Amino acid sequence: MKVLRFRSWNLNADKFQDTVNFYRNVLGADERTFNQVNGVDVSRVALGNMVVGVFDAEGGPRPGVPHHTFDIEGPEDPQDAVKELESQGIEVQGVRVHNEDSGYSIYVNDPSGNRLELSTSPPA
């Protein structure tokens, strides 16, 4: 498994629209997508060659956020990637197979507890 690039930084926003406006109006980000994840509004804004995922946390922080996403070169089968990580003593927190393509994401914590998403799919 090899990291190809840093894809996105994902954060909770207790002032959702103000935060989205900050990234768009102050930092010049372009809104790439606006959708819902588990019933929560998410705005994904592009800054250079990366994306900031702004999760609506007006009702409280979203589970698993913040987390940071890396595009990886990994096995085609996500279970093979899980085995590779577990063989190195890494506890896999979850696996998500993407509906939009043949890719997948694996969620792990680094030794300091930072949540990471390791994704084989192309950037959103």
Q: What is the pLDDT of residue 111?
A: 87
CATH topology of domain 2-119: 2,3-Dihydroxybiphenyl 1,2-Dioxygenase; domain 1 (3.10.180)
Instruction: State whether the Cα torsion 114-118-122-124 is positive or negative.
Output: negative
| Extents of the domains making up the chain | 2-119
pTM: 0.82
Check if the beta carbon of residue 115 is closer than 8 Å to that of residue 70.
Answer: no
Instruction: Give the mean model confidence (pLDDT) for residues 92-118.
Output: 89
Could you read off the pLDDT of 56-89 as tens digits, one per residue?
Answer: 999 998 888 989 999 999 898 999 999 999 999 9
CB atoms within 10 A of CB 11: 18
Among 77, 70, 67, residue whose Cα is nearest residue 102: 77
